[in-house]
Amino acid sequence: MDFSPVLAYAFDWLNLLLRWAHVIVAIAWIGSSFYFVWLDNTLTPPEDKALRDKGVGGELWAVHGGGFYNPQKYAGVPPKLPAHLHWFYWESYSTWLTGFALFTALYLFNAGTFLIDKTVHDWPPVAAIHAALGFLVGFWLIYDVICRTLGKGKHGDAIVGACIFAVVVFASWLACQLFAGRAAFLLVGAMMATSMSANVFFWIIPGQRKVIASMKAGEPVDPVHGQRGKQRSVHNTYFTLPVLFAMLSNHYGWAYGHPQNWLVLVLIMVAGALIRQFFVLRHKTEVAGKPAPWAWAVAGVAVLLGVIVWLAPQPQPRQAAVPSETPAQLFTQAQAVVQQRCVLCHNAQLANKGVMLHTPDLLQSHAQQVYQQAVVLKAMPMNNATQITEAERALLGRWFQSTQAGQAGPKSSP
């Protein structure tokens, strides 16, 4: 008995459930992160003397869901620890764990298909897997050293930011030289997301635990823990939008399939960071009664518009059929290309994405999808694993356009 369809079905469910869980916990983590950044930047000094005497440095009044809220932040540490203290860390850990599990199931387990594009770099799957893991670990180690050694002095934050940006640019370029474009984009996002979660695991939460331990022991609290935690938390805020783009990019072949795909990735991540900077500063200017810092938002949108114009396809004249090609001949030739280049993954036994192309009727019913994925986006075959040629893509385009003109090729029963 052939259990391949059952295994493929089970793997699809694993993919779905891991992706669903990853999105859920990521929303929880990013939501709480955005909320606390906003809260920090919108707190105002308390007017109540009793609050100031308790050490409260800022407060906020808010209304949500029919209730009134009054969050308060202490300038240092509270005079007394509460019995119940909520910690924010499982959102981060769960996001990384589900993300790495999904990355393992989709990319590492199928490295030959998803990590490797032989036209980019032809190497064995084992080497590609080790290199991918090296990106996750290596970026964190380099990033952590930069933060620990260069983040001092008046211009420490600017120097750290510039160095991190340079490392991200280099990593983006290198990933696009080694891996399939789709995997390269995802890997850059994953390495940044790994550092975000590592910041929480290695610095933010341990620093908070040391503060509480000092309080319980009646010892003075070292302010360095708060400074380090704040530094890493700010970095996480600016990483968020670039990481989200990298995670969503696998749906857009025109982005990761561009000849200068590494530059596309860097520019869109820069746009995300600029837009995030606008929102961070906007919270501060609202409280101070100053105009919103629209220049940051305009700069981010300008970068995006520049990328949009740069990547825009040139208008192409409608492909006309070669005079000697009849609609029936076009269909026969297109079917031969699909049989050679596409049916390996789209057949009765392995219907990737629910698409089967192994019969004339099935090919006709999926004509639009074949045209979109293989001709317009050039996203299929995946990483061009079957080495489809530009001439064959053009042939598929002429066949599809003949069907649009009401000249569909012959149909036959399977």
Burial 267-291 (b: 16+ CB within 10 A, else e): bbbbbbbbbbbbbbbbbeeeeeeee
Going by C-alpha positions, the residue among 371, 105, 234 that lies closest to residue 380 is 371
Tell me the two tokens of residue 126.
Answer: 């084992």
pLDDT category at 411 given cuts 50, 70, 90 is very low
pLDDT category at 316 given cuts 50, 70, 90 is low
pLDDT tens-digit series, residues 212-221: 898 888 888 8
pLDDT category at 407 given cuts 50, 70, 90 is very low
**Residue 324: what pLDDT?**
62
pLDDT tens-digit series, residues 27-70: 999 999 999 999 998 999 999 999 999 999 999 999 999 999 99
**Residue 413: what pLDDT?**
39
Q: At what angle do helices 224-248 and 261-288 cross, to 10 degrees?
A: 130
Contact call for residues 225 and 208 (beta carbons, < 8 A): yes
Burial 364-395 (b: 16+ CB within 10 A, else e): bebbeebbebbbeeebbbbbbbbebeeebbeb
Q: CB atoms < 10 A from the CB of 124, how many?
A: 11
**Residue 26: what pLDDT?**
96
What is the pLDDT averaged over residues 312-326? 64
List CB contacts of 344: < 8 A, sequence separation 6 or more.
350, 386
**Residue 103: what pLDDT?**
96
pLDDT category at 378 given cuts 50, 70, 90 is confident
**Residue 323: what pLDDT?**
60
User: Is the predicted pLDDT of residue 409 greater than 70, yes or no?
Assistant: no
**Residue 4: what pLDDT?**
66
DSSP 313: P
pLDDT category at 408 given cuts 50, 70, 90 is very low
**Residue 345: what pLDDT?**
84
pLDDT tens-digit series, residues 104-135: 999 999 899 899 998 899 999 999 999 999 99
Contact call for residues 87 and 205 (beta carbons, < 8 A): yes
Query: What's the whole-number average pLDDT of the chain?
Result: 89
Q: For the chain, which residues make up each domain, given as ranges?
A: 4-42+88-311, 43-76, 327-404
User: Is the predicted pLDDT of residue 344 greater than 60, yes or no?
Assistant: yes
pLDDT category at 383 given cuts 50, 70, 90 is confident
Q: What is the pTM of this model?
A: 0.83
**Residue 57: what pLDDT?**
93
CA 390 from centre of chain: 30
**Residue 122: what pLDDT?**
93
